[in-house]
Structure 1
Amino acid sequence: MIMTSNIGASEIARTTPLGFSMNADDTGVSYDDMKSRIMGELKKVFRPEFLNRIDDVIVFHKLQKDEIKQIVDLLLRRVRVQLAERELQLELTGEAEDFLVDNGWDPAMGARPLRRAIQRYIEDPLADFVLRSEVPAGSTVMVDRAPEGDERKLTMDVVQREAPAPVAVGGGEADEEADKPAELDAPVEGEDK
């Protein structure tokens, strides 16, 4: 059985500055120090009889910005699958990803608010955008950060994928022969010879 808890999260939030780093240089607290503080919090909350029944306690490091971006990508997979059913693709610029990370990560709650940020800034506007616009199949919806002061926060544009150029097969007179209907060597049923 695996159990998770936020016990000690307030201790982490109190001793670390806002941001994504968990290096001892940046926070002044090493991982080992943080783990011992959290174990102390566990002992305050749970009785020794309960703690003795637990095989191991793992204290996770604080999420880094790159890890939050990976979570954003994982959460967007469902949206991309839904768009693929309509033969559409979704792409985000680095600035759009940074915006989601900054607005979907909370020092006290970690990455939990990311799902709400993606719904608010991507899914809801994307649904309106696709319904409101004539988005042809095979297009890519490009999401970018809106200019400073724009209340939309993110912008969406349709990028058409270019159709592949026709491939020429053969050359010269052979092409003219290819345009003629094929002749049947054997008679078709019901046809007189």
Structure 2
Amino acid sequence: MNPQTWALFFCAVFLLSGTPGPNMLHVMTRSLRFGLGASLFAMAGCLSAVVLVLCASATGLGAVLAASPNLFAGLRYAGVAYLVLLGIQAWRGAGGVPQVGTGPIAPSAGGLFRGGFLIGASNPKLLLFAAAFLPQFIDPAADQGLQLTILVATFAAAEAFWYAVYALGGRQLARHLARPALRRLFDRATGAIFVGFGLGLLAGRP
């Protein structure tokens, strides 16, 4: 895989993973309510779902892309549109950080894992990511299996990093983002960056 392509993918994924969404907010609330140790099982559930869905999607995606170069191009443009849509949604402030309380007793390790897995597997953004975003970074003339493996591993590593950040710093993040002015600034900065990534990909690839 071209190092520049991987670097661009990493930057986009790092930002995408760090944006508050179902997985990150779930991990944050588990940490706030039941402690960091309990949140580790929720993290494992979310990450397992992410890797499973991406691997399953990537396996079928590689065969489809090899058989249909036109579909490859179509998915690339769909991915650009997806990034721009995420930017617009972020700019408008969709998906704020909820207020979280404290729960009396932590669920079992299995219950925490299952909860995280269900949250991760039911996240529609993950399915859209696998179908519309990954193809933009794949060279059809190179080994697609190796490229997909690298991309999935990169995404999983970025997710795991942000799980830890949200679990450790979730209380401070939620407190700051509860302030309307900071939340608005965060939303607009994130939205502008997403749109910039989308337009950059559109302009930089044939």
Does the TM-score normalized on the shorter chain lie above 0.5?
no
Higher Rg of the two aligned structures:
1
Pick the TM interval, shorter chain: under 0.3
TM-score, normalised to structure 1's length?
0.27
Which has more strand, going by share of residues? Answer: 1
Q: TM-score, normalised by structure 2?
A: 0.25
Q: Which has the higher contact order (CA 8 A, sep 6+)?
A: 2
Task: Give the structure with the higher percent helix.
Answer: 2
